[in-house]
Structure 1
Amino acid sequence: MLIRDGFPGQRLRVLPRPRVAEALSTPITGRMLVTDAGHFPHAAAHGRDRPRGAEEVVVILCTGGAGHLEVRGEEHPVAPGEVAVIPRGEPHRYRADPRDPWTIWWMHVTGADADDLVTAITQPSNDFSPVMQVHDPYAAKAALEHALVSLERDETLASLFAASGAAWGLLAQLAADRARGAKETGDPILAAQDYLREHLETTTSVAELATIAGLSVSHFSARFRLASGMGVVEYHKRLRSARARELLITTEATVADIARAVGYDDPFYFSRQFRAINGTSPSSYRLSFRDRSQPHD
């Protein structure tokens, strides 16, 4: 049995249908409108079966676990760092992998620009391909989160504009990724950054990263700072902070458990590092986000 929603730690926003109709009559949101957005962490048994397709374009970014998309008689696996883009009206069925359920960020979009961009993404050479590797999955996740946060704020035109901008940027980038072809490999700095993202829980020295990159420590450090705008230690600290913010929002884990999950054995030291970047403590950050997410009279 497939479950539509209701997962621990999920975030979900859906515009009322009358608001959708109003927004589609406005020039900007009439061309690109995010109608639904969400984040489902470790979504066991999640899935949908739409024999007539959806009214909007469906975009699903997998950031963990795995899933499967069935469309036009073919099954497409969806792995971390991959995105499924389903044109509106396209019959489909998708589901989380039963042994390793996916974690996803997703949105529904509609409008003339959405349709044009989706055609560029899914049919670059008249060869329908609804699943693709994202060249920068972290930027894609940020765009989807931006769209979701905008809808979580309120349903004013300003928030809808913000969500539309994030969606337009994401779809345009996916179209560019598709046009460029397979993700380029071989950049030693990108490899080092990927390594840091994948090893948040461990401490990695600059010398170790330089070895991974195949460069001297001094050359690697200079190139890393040029590419990232900061040194390795600061870059890794900010990656850890971003992951900690996500865990604070989407889980009930204690601050100590989250500290360990992102590589800090000492929760007090973690809290000091978190405050230095975010201007508030982990506990206050969690409470303030929940306050913003609650409906107000």
Structure 2
Amino acid sequence: MSIGEGFPGERLRILPPAVARAAGASPITRELLVTDAGWFPHALHHGRQRLLGAGASVVIVCTAGRGWCRATQDDSATTLHVRAGQALVLPAQLGHRYGSMADDPWTIIWMHAAGPQARAFEASLPDGGRRPVVIDLHDRARIQQLMEEVLTTMEVDDTLPSLMRTSGAAGNVLAHLAADAAAGPPMRQAPLRRVFAHLRDHLDHPVVVSELAELAGLSPSHFAALFRAATGGGVVAYVTRLRIARASELLATTTLPVAEVGRIVGYEDPLYFSRRFRAVQGISPRLFREAHAHDPPEQIPRDAWPSGHAAG
């Protein structure tokens, strides 16, 4: 027999329907509203079945133990296994059942999130929200902190300011989960971390894929495939974005000649630098500087300061 709630030490908050409806009048909570949230420690025999799904996106973060999930609309659906350091996402209106493993009951912190931001989050996931998804967390402590913020704020009260704060934390959770899902398992990223740091620190160095692959401890073909999966493009495209981002900063914050800026970020030929810059930013380096360089700050007249706050 499975139970939905009632675990020793559990915490649970559910918004009254009238409060949830009233929150729809606020621009912030209309976009994203947490309607339910909870913390279930060592949830032995925990289980839920919703044949028609929930009315909101269900996010379950597993902090200890293990659990499982399966979509109910598809008899051939694979059973997903969830362990500590992973999040389970159940799209709204998708029939599902899930539960805690009897031999290693999970501890979970969870929320139901509704609104356009939640739907956009679902659409960003694999299969566009048509099936449950298990996501490996890249920063477990940060996600748990944000989920705790969601629940703690709901425990204060259900006034609009509290609901707004809850929406802010929940939006941060969804953004982290979407990014983690796009990046793939953290272990897949591990060989690339040294490469990313090397590229950031050596923008003026030539890009040699075979050398980067050696730095990552991978074959060139495996490295190229892993890099593309992690960044959405090839090494040259990634380095170009890094270089132009740094060049943009230098153009906006220094008076260095444009050619010198180009050399600093790895472009010895000023004309080639200008072409690459225009391809990314849409305008030449000179026009970018004119549009974004800051004028020297003006001093506020002493008599314009409020009494007792004049600058020393």
TM-score by length of 1: 0.60
Change (3 A) 1:152 1:122: farther
1:230-269 pair list within 5 angstroms? none
Distance 1:127 1:3, change over 3 A: closer
Structure 2 alignment gaps of length 5 or more: 195-312
SS of the equivalent of 2:112 reads strand
Find out whether 1:185 has 2:190 as its counterpart: yes
Match of 2:165 among 152, 162, 171: 162
* 1:149-207 CA-partner distances (Å, limit 9, x unpaired): 0100001111101110111001011111122223122669xxxxxxxxxxxxxxxxxxx
Instruction: Using the TM superposition, give the Cα deviation of residue 128 of structure 1 relative to its aligned residue in structure 2, in angstroms.
Output: 4.5
What are the residue-to-residue correspondences of 1:1-297 with 2, within 5 Å?
1-71=1-71, 72=74, 73-123=77-127, 128=131, 130-183=133-186, 184-185=189-190
Inter-partner Cα distance in structure 2 for 1:146 and 1:121: 24
- Contact kept? 1:65, 1:103, Cα under 8 Å: yes
1:234 matched residue in structure 2: none
Aligned residue identity for 2:169? A
Deviations 1:88-138 (A, max 9, x none): 1000000000111000000001000111012213436x8855111111111
Distance between the aligned counterparts of 1:32 and 1:52, measured in 2? 22
Q: Secondary structure at the match of 2:27?
A: coil
Matched residues in 1 for 2:87 and 2:126: separation? 11
Offset, 1:28: 0.8
Q: Distance between the aligned counterparts of 2:125 and 2:17, measured in 1? A: 27
| Alpha-carbon distance in 1 for matches of 2:98, 2:125 | 19
Q: How many corresponding residue pairs?
A: 187
- Alignment-derived partner of residue 281 in structure 2: none
CA distance in 2 between counterparts of 1:53 and 1:180 reads 27
Q: Which whole-Å CA distance do the structure 2 matches of 1:9 and 1:153 have between them?
A: 18
Amino acid paired to 2:64: G
Name segments (4+ residues, structure 1) moved above 4 Å. Answer: 126-129
Q: Is the 8 A contact 2:153 2:165 kept in 1?
A: yes
C-alpha separation in 2, matches of 1:137 and 1:153: 24
Match of 1:86, as an amino acid? L
CA distance in structure 1 between the partners assigned to 2:130 and 2:94 by the alignment:
15
Quote the sequence identity (%): 42
Q: Is the 8 A contact 2:70 2:132 kept in 1?
A: no
TM-score by length of 2: 0.57
| In 1: Cα distance, 2:92 partner to 2:184 partner | 24
Aligned to 1:105, the other structure's residue is in SS state: strand
For the residue of structure 2 that corresponds to 1:59, the secondary structure is strand
> Residue 62 of structure 1 aligns to which amino acid in structure 2?
C
TM-aligned CA distance change 1:76 to 1:35, over 3 Å: same
Letter in 2 for 1:185: A
Aligned residue for 1:29, secondary structure, equals helix
Question: Does structure 1 retain, via aligned residues, the 8 Å contact 2:69–2:97?
Answer: yes
Once residues 90 and 25 of structure 2 are traced to their aligned partners in structure 1, the CA distance between those partners, rounded to angstroms, is 24
Q: Distance in 2 between matches of 1:13 and 1:43?
A: 17
Partner of residue 243, structure 2: none
Q: What's the Cα RMSD here?
A: 1.7
Q: Is the 8 A contact 1:65 1:100 kept in 2?
A: yes
Structure 2 counterpart of 1:58, which letter? V
Alpha-carbon contact 1:123-1:129 (below 8 Å) kept: no
